[in-house]
Every structure is written in C-alpha cells, then in structure tokens.
Amino acid sequence: MASGARDIIQIVPAAGWAAIHEHEGEVINQPLACFALLERKDGSCEVVGMESVDAAIRPSEDQPSYLGYAYVGDEAVSDRSDFVLEAQRRQAKRGLETEFEL
C-alpha cells in the first residue's frame, strides 16, 4: 500500500495481532496497537494494522520492512518461511493466488 493522505474513520483493538517485518534477515513481530478503517481522499476505504513507529502510531504497511499480519496470540513468528507458508496456506484456502515467495 502506498502511503498518502488518509483519514482515520474508526479503530478497533488488535489484541494478539502483530505486523511481521524483516530487518537484516531477521523476522520481527511488532505488536499492533489497533486496526484502523482509513478513508483515502478518493473516498475508497481500507483496513490496516497500526503500530508504534518513531513515537507515533502509523500503518504497518507503510514500513518498507513489512511482510504481513499474523495472529500470534502469546506466540511469536520467528522464521520468515513459517510466516510465508502460513500466508500461502490461508490464501490457498480462500482460493487466492499467493504473492509471497520463500
């Protein structure tokens, strides 16, 4: 998702959810502060995870290291291949083609 001018319409809790990032070959779980319904200037809407970045709450997808979201509960995703395989499994279950590669 490209960053741009968007308004927050609504937020909801994201307990147990994390944004998965890859930094220097290491997989990092960044707990989400919330999910937000954002409205773009053209009127279209999207739901994104929001996380703490540089003392502000920002969309996870705007970070260049962003890989995706995962429900981690009390666990953490520690290996990128585990995350990619899980994402592929979920997309296949919904009949979607995957964009993730190992």
Q: Is the pLDDT of residue 101 over 90?
A: no
CA 27 – CA 70 distance, rounded (Å):
12
Judge whether 87 lies within some domain. yes
Backbone angles phi, psi at 50, to 5 degrees: -120, 140
Q: Is residue 33 part of a domain?
A: yes
Question: What pLDDT score does 95 carry?
Answer: 56
Q: Decide if 30 is inside a domain.
A: yes
What is the pLDDT confidence band of residue 5, given thresholds at 50, 70 and 90?
Answer: confident
**C-alpha span between 89 and 98 (Å, rounded):** 9
Range of the domain at 41: 6-93
Domain presence at residue 98: no
pLDDT tens string 61-91: 999 999 999 988 866 555 555 656 666 665 5
Residue 13 falls inside a structural domain: yes
Q: Tell me what the mean pLDDT of segment 12-18 comes to.
A: 91
Asked, for residue 102, whether it belongs to a domain, the answer is: no
In a domain, 100, yes or no: no
Please check whether residue 63 lies inside any domain of the structure: yes
Query: Over the stretch 33-49, which tens digit does the pLDDT of each residue have?
Result: 999 999 989 999 999 99
What's the domain count of the chain? 1
- Quote the pLDDT of residue 76: 58
